[in-house]
Amino acid sequence: MSRTLRHRFTLLALLVGAFLLAIQLVPYGRAHASPPVRAEPPWPGQTRDLAARACFDCHSNQTQWPWYASVAPVSWLVQRDVDEGRGKLNFSEWDRQQEVEEAAEQIQEGEMPPWYYVVLHPEARLSRAEQSTLIAGLTQLGGGRDRGDRRR
């Protein structure tokens, strides 16, 4: 490797390193909110255990924030996923409208949990039988909630 090429590579590495250090100062994704649990659904059977294992990190106020959730730019992506997940379905805020039936459909279609989540959280991988049990439980919980009806 020529001396000029080595200097350019070193300069590029320093610039990338400085950039990665500088973005750590951007606060988004570092102050992870864990609001209180307001209301949980009337869980049928094993549904809560399966949901806690595969869904709660993004779909409840009981998120377990891993170490990398505090390192930018990954922290921004994790925070975005949690915010979006809680916005659509939050098992800790069952007193508001939820998209339960859509969640069941996404599990059925293999879209949830996302592949990248399962890679980092192997315990979230559900067998076909566990998926069927979770889908059945969510479907039972759904019962009209997606249309805005609130069962009390």
| pLDDT value at residue 151 | 39
pLDDT digit string (tens) for 53-82?
A: 999 999 999 999 998 888 888 888 899 999
Contact 60, 90 (CB under 8 A): yes
pLDDT band (50, 70, 90) for residue 21: confident
Residue written as tokens 């759904």?
142
pLDDT digit string (tens) for 100-133?
A: 999 999 999 999 999 999 999 999 999 999 999 9
CA pair distance 7, 84, nearest whole angstrom: 43
Greater confidence (142 vs 102) lies with 102
Q: What is the DSSP letter of 122?
A: G
Output the average pLDDT for the chain.
87
**Cβ-based neighbours of 23, under 8 Å, separated by 6 or more:** 72, 73
Contact 69, 31 (CB under 8 A): no
Encoding tokens for residue 128?
């076909």
